[in-house]
Structure formats: structure tokens, C-alpha cells
Structure 1
Amino acid sequence: MTINDAYRGLGWAHGALTVQRHAAMLAPLTFLLGDGRQVSPMHVAPWAGEPGTESLPGILQRLRGEWPCVPFGYSVPGDASPPDWAASMEPAAADEEVHGYSSNHPWRWEPSDGTSLRLSIDYPADSAVRRLERSITPDPRAPAVDIALTIIVRENCRLPLGLHPTFRLPAVAGGARIEPSRFDDGRTFPGNVEPGRELFAVDRRFSDLAVVPSRDGGARDASRVPLAADTEELLQLNGIDGSVALANAAEGYRVRLSWQKEHFPSLLLWYSNRGRSAAPWNGRHVALGMEPICSPFGLGPGTALADNPIARSGTPTARTFRAGETFLTRYRIEAEAL
């Protein structure tokens, strides 16, 4: 694989971007703001390019930026989960890959007209999914990128879906603020994301991201990032109106993500805050995932299809596809000066 085959880029009046073939991940992404400053809001994992990364699981090898996950999630044991969650948590299938086949394998470049980058990936012949297609198109009039994802299936199926934008955070604790659009219901994770690095209470509801129940019996402001604590946590906002912003006050810009809420009714917030000590994380990974999903916390396809507590509450955790269906969803990442 040549360097030109592994990565391709585009530049336009308001920025520049790079996409890699592996998992079709978008980053770096640099925007030129109206006041002339350049900002790069997408995260690149600190082990990118280190020796030995080729032996990591596919999704981790060059982890960065934004990419689609079909199906979204991965299965975990329900041992530490409340009974109503444990009853719906299913073991991993034999062929399960973290966040789906597309997150772990190289995509194929497709012809484009020079104003966008296009990729596709064919799934294994025994998969219900036949093919994914992805396009990344800079907005010629603004510091913004429009992204389209097409899913083509072979057979009737139900799948949890997710988009995985992961954002870079400032060095100072609390230097940025998460600004979600209106949502119906916030939930803490029903278990331990990383044992020994817990911060939020187990399986609790909340209505304000600034007041989230914590393990110590109090409450934490989960809207200000990065968090001061060394932790690895997940929060899910259900019935969200289809947008979220990260106002990076420390660096003077806001990045906004918007999507089709009818396709992704929830937002998963991944707080990766030096909480994982095993390689390649090594206690140094600091990033924020703001991930539009149709899934229960990314708890794997089996749990997403089961009668889990989020599905019972009225928020879908999987989408129904019909054989031969072509599903198209669109979303946008844009930036502005604060």
C-alpha cells in the first residue's frame, strides 16, 4: 500500500482534511475560521505511528477522528449491571468485531470529481450487510464538512447504528463545554466502563449534563471537559434533537455536529480521560466522543436487539432494514470562532 493509497486529502478555501483508507477515518481536519485562525478539532490517538501498532485490533491501529460503525458497539459481560440490564445483555457472536466490520478493515477509494472523497467497503458474504459507501465533501462557502453514509443490506435485519466523531480537547481541565441540543432523558452507564476508574453512578437518570449523579453520592458537572479525574465513562442522551456542540473556550472556537435525529435518536458521550492504563492507552488518552447512535450505550448487537431498558422506555436501539434496501443518512461538522 503506497502512502497515496493509504491516505488522501482535500483542501478548500476554508480548510483542509485527510481521510485514511483504514476504517475510512476522517482526521486531521483543519478549519480556517472567519477571523483567520486555524483550528483542528478532531482527535488523533497518541500512539498513531508508534512501532507495534500493526498488531493491535483493527479499530485501534490508527484510531482518529470520525468514522461510521455498522453495527455499532461491542458485547460485554453483564456481571456488574443491574438485573434489568443483565437480563438483556447478550454474549458476543463468534464473528463480532468492535464497532463492526467497517471499523476494522480498509475501505476502497471510489472515483470522485475532486470536490469530495468517496470510499466503499464490501462486507463478508455471510453478513446481512452487503456494502457501505461514504462521502466527505467540504462546504465551499464555509469551514464545514458534509458527510453521507449509505448502507446496503442483503436480507431483512435489525442493526444498531452509530457515527463515531471523536474530538480533541484542550490541555486545561474544564477548558471546553459540551452544548447538547434538547434531549428527553439522560442515563449513566449500567455498569463499569473501566473497572477502578468509575466516576458516575450506575444506571441513573438525569436531565442536565451539568448535574450528573456520581459514585460518591453527589453530582458531577459532565458538561465541562476534559474532566479533572482519571476516568473512562459513558453517558447517553436519548430523544436528542440532532445536534451538539463543543465550545472550546481555551482555544476560542466552537465545533458543531448535526445529524438526522430520525436515524440516530440518541447521543453517546465517551469520556476517555486517562482512564485506561493498558497498552496502547497507557494512561495518556484524552478525548471526547460525541457519537450519534441508535444503540444502548454501544452494548453490542445482541443487547441492542433485546428488550433492553432504553428500548422499553421508547427510544429505539436498533433499526429495521429490508432486503435490498439502500439507506442514506447525512451529517455535518462545522466550526466558528467564539
Structure 2
Amino acid sequence: MKFGETLLGGRKAWKLDNGAATLVMLAGGGHIASLTLNEKPAVNPLWVPVWKPVEPWQYAAKHAKTHTSKLLGAIAGHNVCLGWFGEPSPEEAAAGMECHGEAPVAKWRLVRKALSGGVMTVETECELPVVGMVLKRTISTQTGKQDFHVTDTVRNVSQRDIPFTICEHVTFGPPFLQKGETVFDMPAVQSHTFRGQFSDKQRLRPNAPFAWPRGPGRHGEMVDMRTIGNSYGASSDFSTQLIDPKRPDGWFTAVNAELGVLVAYTWRRKDFPWVGNWEENYGRKTRPWGGRSLARGMEFANSPFPVGLRKATEMAHFQGHPTFRWVPALTSIDFSFDIVITPVAEEVKGVKDMYRTSTGFAFDFITG
């Protein structure tokens, strides 16, 4: 078991190594930027942007020409969106607010580290002055395990109740993400494409309900949502998936059998009813994207669409569930989830189900 400060792509980070798997979290934005099996250290399933990163505290006016926003300068892998999920309102944007809130561009600090009885626990936190919150992240893992338990604690430090949306925005990238090879599964019961135009290169028909994984194609065709097919040269899409309300836990899996790696996330379904599916398939041509990025986000959230807090509160409900939440004055709410990374055999074609066991997690695989 090892913990320490490190540099990842020249950026300050904290590294948790339990002997079987390693997780790296950035101080700039709190992004979980690397997740690897120790037996396959070259395969980081999480997205590494193709452009040069900029630490949030180093972002300056000159970077606006190359990165366009502090968020895109800092973003990597799994980022947490808090306060609002998606774009700010026009007035918030004019006041300097960016997409996905303060946490992804905050300077996080180490609060505590402990190692006892084969369990490593690390606490970090950041301040969110605009929304009047402090976000604490606690990561724990056991020696030799291929999973990490994470609790994000949202603390209201103001004397008023605060509405908010939150999204654990997990983004995958190459080499793990391969068109036609990497498959995604989840226990979704209702799905819906983005309700407006998400991009000018959509493979999905806007504002359409569907049953996962059979998506509604732009031209009337059926789209296999489990993968981004090789036939799609360039596209950029978003859809939301409601996780089965009968299940106590939500989950999603990402499998690249060619590389022999599976990544899974699981959480309390009542905390995050939806999984947003974001696909960036070389579709965005603006800076810093430049048509060079392949990324896929699995974004479990308490709101279905990345539309910001104002629109989420105006929506109020979607698919029978509230689209935002309140944290009362001077109180806290815990949001917990588990991250699993494990080897898989070449014949694995996906996951039918995921569940907890007395020793960890198990999967019912799709094979053949």
C-alpha cells in the first residue's frame, strides 16, 4: 500500500496504490485522472485530453485563445460537477461562471491520510464560495483489491437552503475507448435523447424517448448505443438513461476485451437516478477540440440533462423523478460510489448484471 504526491502530465496529484490497482487524483479540479491495474499500467481507461492542460490557478487571459475556458484547461477523466450540471445561465456566464460549477476548477487540498489494518483512507476537499459549499472527497481501498470506495460529502456552509445538481462525470478515452470495440452496459429502463440540438453532427434524433440500448438514429435507423460504431465518422451526442427504480444500486460497465480490462461504477440509485451518455466522436471543431477527440462520458447524476441549475429547477421533474435537490442550511449530504477495475477474458462481450458480494463485486458476463 502506497500513498504520496506525484506529478501526472506535469500536474500536481495524489497517488493511491493498493498493490493491485492504482488511482491518481489531480489537485487542480479534483479530477480522477488515472485508474490502472498494476498488471496493466499502460492502460488508463480514463480520458486524457489531446491538448496541453493548464492548472486552474495558472489559467490566464492568454489561455482563453487556446482553451476557451478554465474547465477545458483543467479537465481530465472523472470530474465532479456540483452546484450545477451543464452550462450556467446567461447571467451567470456574464458574471464569470463556467460549465459544471466550481469544483472542476477548484484547488483541492489534502486533509487526511491514514493506513490501518490493510485499509488506506485519503480525504481531500475544496471550497465552493459561489454556491456556499465545501466538497470533501474520501477515498478508501484495501490491500490487493481492484476497487476504490468514494464518498463525496456536500456541506452547506451558508445559513440558507441551497438547491443544486450534481454529476459524477466519468469520461473514457483512447486507447481503452475504441470505436466498435469498447462496449457500455447499464440497467436502464427509460432513455431520452437531448431535448434540443446538442451539436451539428448528431447520430441521434433530438428529443426522442427510446429503450436502451436501441437508440433512435437521426435518419430513422436504429443505433446501437452500447458502442460507437466505426460507420460514424464524426458525431457528438447526449442522451439520458433512467436506471431501474426497482434496484437499490445503479451501475454501468465499460469493457474493452481486446485490452482485457473492465471498469465499473456502482452507487445508491436514489442518489443518482440517471446516467448521461455523452459521445464526442471527433465532432467538435472549435478550440481546443479541433476535431481530434474521441471521448465517451458515463455521467451518473441527480439531473437528467446538462442544462444548468436554472433549467433543472424549472424542469422540476422528468421521468417521474425530481431534477434537482436541496441541501438544508449548515448540513451535509453524502454521495457514495464504488469504482472497480478488473481484467476480463477476450470472449467477454459485455455485462448483463453487476452485484455486490461478501468479498466485493461480481458480474454476469455476455459471452460468445
Q: Same fold (TM over 0.5)?
A: yes
Q: Which runs of 4+ in 1 moved over 6 A?
A: 2-5, 50-53
- Is the counterpart of residue 21 in structure 1 residue 33 in structure 2? no
* CA distance, structure 2, for counterparts of residue 61 and residue 289 of structure 1: 18
- Is the counterpart of residue 133 in structure 1 residue 133 in structure 2? no
**Secondary structure of the structure 2 residue equivalent to 1:73:** coil
* CA distance, structure 2, for counterparts of residue 239 and residue 200 of structure 1: 20
RMSD: 2.5
Query: Once the two structures are superposed, what CA deviation does each residue of 1:261-294 show, in whole Å capped at 9, x if it has no partner?
Result: 1111100011111111111111111111111111
CA contact (8 A) 1:45 1:64 kept: yes
Structure richer in strand, relative to its length: 2
CA contact (8 A) 1:73 1:99 kept: yes
Identify the structure with bigger relative contact order (alpha carbons < 8 Å, sequence gap 6+). 1
Q: State the match for 1:323 in structure 2.
A: 329
TM-score of the aligned structures, taking structure 1 as reference length: 0.85
CA contact (8 A) 1:25 1:67 kept: yes
Q: Note the residue ranges of structure 1 that are not aligned, 5 or more in a row.
A: 77-89
* CA distance, structure 1, for counterparts of residue 133 and residue 196 of structure 2: 34
Q: Residues 320 and 256 from structure 1, CA distance in 2 versus in 1: closer, same or farther, beyond 3 angstroms?
A: same
CA contact (8 A) 2:147 2:338 kept: yes
**Secondary structure of the structure 2 residue equivalent to 1:202:** coil
CA contact (8 A) 2:253 2:264 kept: yes
Q: State the match for 2:301 in structure 1.
A: 293
| Correspondent of 2:122 among 117, 122, 132 | 117
* CA distance, structure 2, for counterparts of residue 264 and residue 92 of structure 1: 28
* CA distance, structure 2, for counterparts of residue 200 and residue 92 of structure 1: 30
Q: State the match for 1:103 in structure 2.
A: 104
**How much does 1:105 deviate?**
2.1
TM-score of the aligned structures, taking structure 2 as reference length: 0.78
CA contact (8 A) 1:11 1:17 kept: yes
CA contact (8 A) 2:82 2:101 kept: yes
Q: State the match for 1:146 in structure 2.
A: 149
Query: Once the two structures are superposed, what CA deviation does each residue of 1:23-58 show, in whole Å capped at 9, x if it has no partner?
Result: 1111222113xxx44442211111134899762322
Q: Give the % identical residues.
A: 21
* CA distance, structure 2, for counterparts of residue 263 and residue 137 of structure 1: 20
Q: State the match for 2:222 in structure 1.
A: 219
**How much does 1:171 deviate?**
6.2
Q: Residues 99 and 287 from structure 1, CA distance in 2 versus in 1: closer, same or farther, beyond 3 angstroms?
A: same
Counterpart code for 1:191 = G
* CA distance, structure 2, for counterparts of residue 331 and residue 319 of structure 1: 18
**Secondary structure of the structure 1 residue equivalent to 2:48:** coil
Moved more, 322-331 or 61-70: 61-70
Q: Residues 112 and 246 from structure 1, CA distance in 2 versus in 1: closer, same or farther, beyond 3 angstroms?
A: same
* CA distance, structure 1, for counterparts of residue 91 and residue 150 of structure 2: 30
* CA distance, structure 1, for counterparts of residue 23 and residue 243 of structure 2: 31
Q: State the match for 1:248 in structure 2.
A: 256
Counterpart code for 2:284 = R
Query: How many residues are paired up?
Result: 314
**How much does 1:172 deviate?**
4.3
CA contact (8 A) 1:226 1:273 kept: no
Counterpart code for 2:143 = P
Q: Residues 295 and 50 from structure 1, CA distance in 2 versus in 1: closer, same or farther, beyond 3 angstroms?
A: closer
**How much does 1:295 deviate?**
1.4
| Correspondent of 2:12 among 6, 17, 34 | 6
**Secondary structure of the structure 2 residue equivalent to 1:232:** strand
Query: Once the two structures are superposed, what CA deviation does each residue of 1:92-112 show, in whole Å capped at 9, x if it has no partner?
Result: 533532111111221122121
* CA distance, structure 2, for counterparts of residue 245 and residue 184 of structure 1: 16
**How much does 1:260 deviate?**
1.4
**How much does 1:203 deviate?**
0.6
**Secondary structure of the structure 1 residue equivalent to 2:233:** coil
- Is the counterpart of residue 165 in structure 1 residue 170 in structure 2? yes
**How much does 1:226 deviate?**
6.1
Counterpart code for 2:218 = R
**How much does 1:250 deviate?**
2.5
Q: Residues 316 and 95 from structure 1, CA distance in 2 versus in 1: closer, same or farther, beyond 3 angstroms?
A: farther
Q: State the match for 2:284 in structure 1.
A: 276
CA contact (8 A) 1:265 1:316 kept: no
